[in-house]
Structure 1
């Protein structure tokens, strides 16, 4: 059975990792609590384009080289990531039960593969599809088809993710069932679709599917 899973804030807690990075990086560059809050707010949960974000950071902290800031930003995020052992165990159990977990993520190949290897997820999934590498991004239908092909399976199964449009909307449009991770949010108003299920976190989502 095909099991597509988002990476950031689904398989790994990106928000917590960024907060750890910001809390350490800002004081090391002369910043205080307000600068940490600014970093977290401006990051926009990872949706602020990295190059533009690096330029903004360089300007705020009066740093001469945005490229160096960008490198620190990317490397620091990877180093701060941690894999919840419950997620790892859930993936092992899913694979043993006949599921084929494939990561479907937007982002650059270098950054996202670094995250997969840093956390050991590369050894726990059947494969991955990264938007930069395939030339299409979620919610484009093609990225889900490519993920199914990565597993050698038809495009039938489930998608787990935290983004209402990219993960749930994109997957629902190609006929996949979906599990949405609210992360304390309400489902957005006005969308013409809803998730098949919701779950408190990724481990709980995978465990529930395997158990069913």
Structure 2
């Protein structure tokens, strides 16, 4: 098996939920949006966000600004607010030192996901990134994993690992791509979905498992 690991971004390497709350608060304060708009944003962006959401926001509340301006401000606020814990960054550094190839496979709009990677420092620690917005396909589609492998300069046929918190997208997608999987428990597990190879409570535990892998 190849010494390759893919990580999910939101909810795995980075804390999206806290950043979302901060970004929505900042946007509403900056634009003096009403409480109803604040609640709308928190509901509509709970799982994902893209530029089209801000066109809907503009229409719903008859806002004077363009959807593009609102989206860009949200992207900037999210990138500034999102965090990756130092121990996670340290763990990724240890994986690199141990000759692992590290990729990120994430669902979302390309601009906001890449901005998060840069601002958290993760961009400097990964070999390749595949964002669903790059191809307009989403995990668990195998093609996104194939793109990730290509951008890491490796072949998916050589195997590897997928680490993430989404049972269907990360673990189910990893299985479809022929990868071993590590699930960060939390979300409900869908009936009929094959079990992950390992289950952990924190991404640092997943990194420890990988570092303890033996290679022939």
Superposition TM-score, scaled by structure 2 size: 0.84
Residue 56 of structure 2 corresponds to which residue in structure 1? 56
Residue 175 of structure 2 corresponds to which residue in structure 1? 172
Q: CA deviation at 1:113?
A: 2.1
- What is the alpha-carbon distance in structure 2 between the residues aligned to residue 107 and residue 45 of structure 1? 10
Which aligned pairs between 1:125-204 and structure 2 lie closer than 5 A?
125-134=126-135, 136-155=137-156, 156-182=159-185, 184-188=186-190, 190-204=191-205
Deviation per CA, 1:18-41: give whole Å up to 9, x if none. Answer: 111112222343356665443222
Q: How many residues matched?
A: 208
Secondary structure of the residue aligned to 1:45 is coil
* Residues 1:105 and 1:205: Cα distance change in structure 2 (over 3 Å): same
Secondary structure of the residue aligned to 1:44 is coil
* Contact 1:55–1:66, Cα closer than 8 Å, also in 2: yes
Secondary structure of the residue aligned to 1:187 is coil
Q: CA deviation at 1:85?
A: 0.6
Q: CA deviation at 1:79?
A: 1.7
Secondary structure of the residue aligned to 2:168 is helix
Q: Which runs of 5+ in 1 are unaligned?
A: none
Residue 104 of structure 1 corresponds to which residue in structure 2? 105
Residue 2 of structure 1 corresponds to which residue in structure 2? 4
Q: Which runs of 5+ in 2 are unaligned?
A: none
Secondary structure of the residue aligned to 1:159 is strand
Superposition TM-score, scaled by structure 1 size: 0.85
* Residues 1:69 and 1:205: Cα distance change in structure 2 (over 3 Å): same
Q: CA deviation at 1:205?
A: 1.6
- What is the alpha-carbon distance in structure 2 between the residues aligned to residue 7 and residue 140 of structure 1? 16
* Residues 1:86 and 1:32: Cα distance change in structure 2 (over 3 Å): farther
* Contact 2:5–2:160, Cα closer than 8 Å, also in 1: yes
